[in-house]
Structure 1
Amino acid sequence: MSVGLKFRYAQRKDVSLILRFIKELAVYEKMLDEVIADEIMLEEWIFDRQKAEVIFAVVDGKEVGFALFFHNFSTFLGRAGLYLEDLFVLPEYRGKGYGKAILKKLAEIAVERKCGRLEWSCLDWNKPSIDFYLSLDAEPMSDWTVYRLTGDRLKKLAQ
């Protein structure tokens, strides 16, 4: 683990910091215009409804990275897994092992909770992240395609 690195779970008072990390990740992914989340929404879904969790990587009292994750379920394994929705390390702290440390911490959480897997998605163009994940021995799921319904399409199907 990187020297001086600590982890802490997000608390309700961290909602603005969570949103700031989400927006910085969205800028990196060239998707800022898709972020509609606000502090009220995040507080409701993360803390009131407890549908996701956030950990921060902290160095010298400063949050330098974060991961937002939640439980999913594998019917084949018959147990829950952890799904990593977002992982982000501030640009000035990259290349120092913090991203790997965050993934290691998530793996520890998954094992501790007896989860069957840790999964995440990565944009096809994000070669630095893909190379990083491959270096950790992560397996790309090339036979699977993610499908999504949002907004009006989701509402239409629900009718």
Structure 2
Amino acid sequence: MKNIIDTELSNFKLRFAQPCDTSLILEFIRELAEYEKMLPEVIATEEVLRESLFERKIAEVIIGEMQNLPVCFALFFYNFSTFLGKPGIYLEDLFVKPKMRGKGIGKIMLSFLAKLTIERKCGRLEWWCLDWNEPSINFYKHLGATPMNDWTVYRVCDEELHKLANEFKQ
């Protein structure tokens, strides 16, 4: 796939992020965290992101540019469905700068990710959304996404993660 991807929206193009985009990606992450009222939780650094995204290749990032200026990003990675026997794409973050919302950019980003999901022979495209984020919930439902109401997300991190890891004995 070529690095610059034209879209149906005039002057809006997509591209896969490169190592030189690391500071831009961190800026987008901070803007998203501020919108979600979670900025104090962002401890990522450029060094950590560069290693994770471009050296270890744990996740990928798509940058959306309007007239060559970055206006949105999507960070995603593979998960796996044992029931399908196939990988899926998990969208960790999608953020469109507030002044650029309502122009169809979010839909283009999700449509591109859906196309990528199919091209890469994945079985599904998934993401989480905060319960209070009604504009996004309505947008996702309008696109045909369905909430997974029967599932609860669990997380182990920080001290609890270390405690659990220390429980493993060989």
Q: Report the TM-score when normalising by structure 1.
A: 0.99
Structure 1 alignment gaps of length 5 or more = none
Q: Which amino acid aligns with 1:5?
A: F
Shift of 1:17: 0.1
Distance in 2, Cα, partners of 1:121 & 1:60: 30
Alignment match of 1:51 (pick from 58, 62, 73): 58
Shift of 1:4: 1.9
Q: Which amino acid aligns with 1:100?
A: K
User: How many residues are aligned here?
Assistant: 159
Higher relative contact order structure (alpha carbons within 8 Å, sequence separation ≥ 6)? 1
Alignment correspondent of 2:4: none
Shift of 1:28: 0.3
Alignment correspondent of 2:162: 155
Shift of 1:2: 2.0
Distance in 2, Cα, partners of 1:2 & 1:129: 21
Structure 2 alignment gaps of length 5 or more = 1-7
Alignment match of 1:112 (pick from 106, 119, 128): 119
Shift of 1:142: 0.3
Q: Which amino acid aligns with 1:84?
A: L
Shift of 1:140: 0.4
SS in 2 for 1:80: strand
Alignment match of 1:76 (pick from 83, 88, 92): 83
Q: Identity rate of aligned residues, in percent? A: 60
Larger radius of gyration: 2
Shift of 1:58: 1.0
Alignment correspondent of 2:70: 63
RMSD, matched Cα: 0.6
Alignment correspondent of 2:3: none
Distance in 1, Cα, partners of 2:156 & 2:9: 39
Distance in 1, Cα, partners of 2:125 & 2:105: 18
Distance in 2, Cα, partners of 1:102 & 1:150: 30
Q: Report the TM-score when normalising by structure 2.
A: 0.92
Alignment of 1:111-130 (within 5 A): 111-130=118-137
Distance in 2, Cα, partners of 1:88 & 1:48: 24
SS in 2 for 1:83: strand
Distance in 1, Cα, partners of 2:21 & 2:89: 22
